[in-house]
Structures are given as structure tokens and as C-alpha cells.
């Protein structure tokens, strides 16, 4: 469909940024250059961080190791923004580490949803073009190896009190003779790690998409109109504008020609009616169900709380609020994205027993 239409949207929320800013999770030790890579977890700004060394030997180079604290789910993702990984033939692999000194983290397979990604084997990925790449993973504690299921209670019991850590390894590709395929330096601007949430259905028909010019105009005493453009366009992803791809094949407008193309700020006004309570709110506004002791509620597990419920409040609003940016995909079947913030607080109105409506305003940021 496209035409910038909003059908069934998807929200990508940066869990590691939220954990770090709240002092809940800290980076673990790593290889050379690891300290510089810590800033990669922040959604903005999209700067360039070196992830491989020039002329390095084949195989593993640098890694990003960050405690997950048991907040990742089966609907997790890794988004690499502003990279040149296609140009340098650099691969990456997501692993689940159980301790800080874990030298052999469990490799996690790439999921079924990915953009600008070529899957090698099951757990290594490569970008066919420079710019950005998004891939989904199952990083729930049981699947990643951070927990086991208690056969009596059915609870997921952590094998490590830290909840383990996600390890992103960047590797140079190897030729048949064992030499490095491309000795050039690889860069990544942002490495978002978190969970995504799919809206259960499309928003109401009265949605609105507007474009802000960020321009202030005044009229002089002589009647002339003077306009001043406030701010700058989005950060470049390498040689092209944000959310563009470029590489060795295909056509891409790069260099100075692409700089002025994307300067307008998109704003979405969305409303959802008749959202089921299970899609909107957690059953319990709590991190566990220990305080609920009646014979029915005592059987409810973590997936009914703020720690594990798969609803809009738990997965999106309770994490980002109006403070943190996230990736917004207006149509989960179209490869179009924007980094946004919620422009105002939201409220839930009950329209029928168990059904709610919600209005929200999303503003593109950079």
C-alpha cells in the first residue's frame, strides 16, 4: 500500500537505553573498543562508532555486552542505524551470555522479520546495503538460556540473578584462503536492542499525518516576509538521508544531492477504538502476583504483570512515555520507519465493558 499510509503499525522500543538511563542495567566488560561502543545503545544521536579494526585478522572483532535484566521477550529486535556494514562485508551475531566473563555466549537465531538483512546459517547476519538494518530475535530468558521452566510451578526461573546479557559480535568476513574479505573499518551509529509491539488492528479512519517545516516567518514594516528555518534535517546514515539504503548495487542518491531532500518533520495523530483490555493494559499493575492470593489469581504468572504482559501499556507507553524515542513503523508490511516520541500524555477511555479507546500523537525526532 505505502503512500505513507498507516495500516497496522509496529513500535520498536529500546529496552537497553531505558534500563541504562534508570540505573537498572550496566554494560559488562568486553573487548578492545568496548567502552566507546557503550554509547551505541542510545537511539539518538546516530553517530559513528568503530566496530572493526582496519586490516584486522579474520573473525571476531568488537562486541557490545549489556545486561538484559530479564526484560527481553520473544518479540525482541536489534536495529543497526547509520552503518556501512555492506561496504566492508561485516557480519554480526547476537548471543546470550550468562556471566560477565562468558567467552562462548549462546548464539541466537535470526527471526522471521528482518529488513536489509541477509541471514547466514541461522544466527549470523549481513547487510546487503549500507544505511540501516533491523532483525528480530527471540531473547526471552528461556529461549536465550538464561532460565529454565520449573516443572511444578511453570515459572521461568533465572539461572543468573542478573538475567544474563546480550552480546552483539561484529566480525569480518573471510575469503576461501583465510584472508580478510575487506580490511576497511566498519562503523555503526546506533545499536538499538529491545522489544517490539504490533498493534492488533489499524487505527481509526480519522487519523492525520502532518508535516512540520520548522520555519518561523515575520513581516517587516515595509511589508517584506522574512523566513527563518529552525533546526537541521535528520542525521545522515552514511552518505544518504535517514532511513535510506545505499550500496554497491542499485541506485542511491548520495552526497550533497541527498542532503536537502528530507527536511520535513512528520507528525501522526492516531486513535484506536475498541481495543480489547488484554491488548491495552496488563492484568496487574505490579511486577509480580505474590500479593494476589485468591485461588484464581494465584495461578497467574509473570505474563500478566508489568514484567511480561504483551500489551501497549507494558511494552510501549510504560517504557518510553513522552521522554524516550522509539522506532515507529506505520505499516508493518511496508519498509518505512521513523524515530518518534509521543508528543503528549495519553489517556484510556472505556467505550464498553472490557473495550477501550486511546488517542496518541507521535512526532518525528532526530
Residue 15: inside a domain, yes or no? yes
- Structural domains of the chain, count: 1
Domain that holds residue 156: 10-198
- CATH code of the domain in which 38 resides: 2.60.120.260
Residue 35 within a domain: yes
192 part of a folded domain: yes
Residue 289 lies in a domain: no
The two beta strands, 110-115 and 131-137, are antiparallel
Looking up cell 520555519 gives 215
Cα separation of 185 and 53, whole Å? 6
Query: Are 348 and 356 within 8 A, CB to CB?
Result: yes
| Residue 130, all three cell numbers | 549500507
For residue 97, the model assigns a pLDDT of 79
Tell me how far apart the alpha carbons of residues 263 and 252 are, in angstroms, rounded to a whole number.
Answer: 18
Tell me if 112 is assigned to some domain. Answer: yes
* In-domain check, residue 252: no
The pTM for the full model equals: 0.87
Question: Is residue 88 a part of any domain in this protein?
Answer: yes
Is residue 349 in a domain? no
Determine what percent of the chain is predicted with pLDDT higher than 70: 75
The sign of the CA dihedral 264, 322, 359, 196 is positive
| 366 residues of the chain, pLDDT tens digit each | 678 889 999 999 999 999 988 887 766 654 444 555 678 889 998 888 888 766 555 555 567 777 776 788 999 999 999 999 998 888 999 988 776 666 677 889 999 999 999 998 889 999 999 999 999 999 887 777 665 555 566 665 555 545 578 888 888 876 666 666 676 788 899 999 999 999 999 999 889 999 988 788 888 888 888 887 776 767 777 667 789 888 755 445 454 455 567 778 999 999 999 999 999 999 888 887 666 555 454 444 567 888 888 999 999 999 999 999 999 999 999 999 999 999 999 999 999 999 999 999 999 998
Amino acid at each position: 500500500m505505502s503512500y505513507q499510509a498507516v495500516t497496522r503499525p509496529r513500535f520498536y522500543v529500546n529496552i537497553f537505553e531505558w534500563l541504562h538511563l534508570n540505573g537498572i542495567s550496566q554494560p559488562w566488560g568486553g573487548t578492545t573498543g568496548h567502552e566507546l561502543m557503550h554509547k551505541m545503545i542510545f537511539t539518538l544521536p546516530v553517530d559513528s562508532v568503530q566496530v572493526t579494526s582496519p586490516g584486522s585478522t579474520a573473525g571476531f572483532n568488537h562486541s557490545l555486552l549489556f545486561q538484559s535484566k530479564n526484560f527481553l521477550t520473544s518479540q525482541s529486535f536489534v536495529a543497526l542505524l547509520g552503518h556501512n556494514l555492506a561496504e566492508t562485508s561485516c557480519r554480526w551475531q547476537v548471543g546470550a551470555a550468562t556471566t560477565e566473563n562468558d567467552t562462548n555466549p549462546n548464539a541466537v537465531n535470526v527471526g522471521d522479520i528482518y529488513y536489509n538483512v541477509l541471514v547466514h546459517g541461522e544466527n549470523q547476519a549481513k547487510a546487503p546495503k549500507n544505511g540501516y538494518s533491523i532483525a528480530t530475535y527471540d531473547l526471552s530468558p528461556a529461549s536465550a538460556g538464561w532460565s529454565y521452566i520449573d516443572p511444578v510451578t511453570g515459572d521461568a526461573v533465572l539461572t543468573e540473578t542478573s538475567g544474563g546479557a546480550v552480546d552483539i559480535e561484529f566480525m569480518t568476513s573471510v575469503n576461501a584462503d583465510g584472508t580478510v574479505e575487506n580490511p576497511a573499518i566498519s562503523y555503526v551509529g546506533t545499536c538499538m536492542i529491545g522489544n517490539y509491539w504490533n498493534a492488533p488492528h489499524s487505527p481509526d479512519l480519522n487519523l492525520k499525518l502532518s508535516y512540520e517545516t520548522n520555519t518561523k516567518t515575520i513581516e517587516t514594516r515595509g511589508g517584506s516576509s522574512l523566513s527563518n528555518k529552525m533546526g537541521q534535517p535528520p542525521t545522515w546514515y552514511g552518505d544518504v538521508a535517514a532511513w535510506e539504503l545505499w550500496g554497491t548495487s542499485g541506485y542511491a542518491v548520495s552526497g550533497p544531492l541527498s542532503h536537502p531532500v528530507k527536511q520535513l518533520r512528520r507528525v501522526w495523530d492516531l486513535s484506536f477504538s475498541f481495543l480489547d483490555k488484554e491488548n491495552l493494559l496488563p492484568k496487574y499493575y505490579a511486577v509480580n502476583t505474590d500479593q494476589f492470593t485468591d485461588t484464581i489469581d494465584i495461578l497467574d504468572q509473570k505474563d500478566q504483570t508489568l514484567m511480561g504482559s504483551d500489551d501497549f501499556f507494558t511494552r510501549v507507553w510504560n517504557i518510553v512515555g513522552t521522554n524516550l524515542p522509539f522506532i515507529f513503523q506505520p505499516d508493518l508490511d511496508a519498509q518505512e520507519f521513523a524515530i518518534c516520541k509521543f508528543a503528549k500524555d495519553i489517556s484510556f477511555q472505556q467505550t464498553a465493558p472490557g473495550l477501550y479507546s486511546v488517542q496518541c500523537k507521535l512526532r518525528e525526532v532526530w
